[in-house]
């Protein structure tokens, strides 16, 4: 059963310049996982481009729940998670079957 993992974050910074910089940095760090974390089937991520929405979103596909777990626990992904947690105020996620 293939899975799609969808996550969105609100950046904690209140000023637009810092918020945008953090959203871009989150996007860049997650994008850099492609080719490093073998279980990623496909990954699309980017900062929001329309005001009033969440600040950055990720859509990633995995072969199955085990592949998603391998991604989530991969040491390089955990380094990205540490950065993300340091700059966000909120997170929402959903995983669904493709």
- Give pLDDT tens digits along the chain (98 positions): 899 999 999 999 999 999 999 999 999 999 999 999 999 999 999 999 998 899 999 999 999 999 999 999 999 999 999 999 999 999 999 999 99
Asked whether the beta carbons of 89 and 12 are under 8 A apart, the reply is yes
Q: Cα separation of 98 and 81, whole Å?
A: 25
Paired tokens of 95: 């995983």
Give, for 19, the enclosing helix (H) or strand (E).
Answer: helix 16-31
Residue 82: is it exposed, middle or buried by C-beta count within 10 angstroms (0-12/13-18/19+)? Answer: exposed
Q: What is the pTM of this model?
A: 0.94
Domains along the chain with CATH numbers: 3-97 (3.30.70.100)
């Amino acid at each position: 059963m293939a899975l799609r993992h969808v996550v969105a974050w609100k950046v904690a910074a209140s000023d637009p310049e810092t918020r945008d910089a953090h959203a871009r940095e989150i996007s860049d760090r997650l994008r850099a996982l492609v080719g490093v974390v073998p279980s990623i089937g496909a990954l699309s991520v980017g900062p929001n481009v329309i005001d009033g929405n969440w600040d950055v979103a990720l859509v990633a596909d995995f072969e199955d729940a085990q592949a998603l777990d391998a991604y989530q626990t991969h040491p390089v992904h955990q380094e990205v998670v540490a950065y993300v947690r340091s700059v966000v105020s909120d997170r929402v996620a959903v995983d669904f079957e493709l």
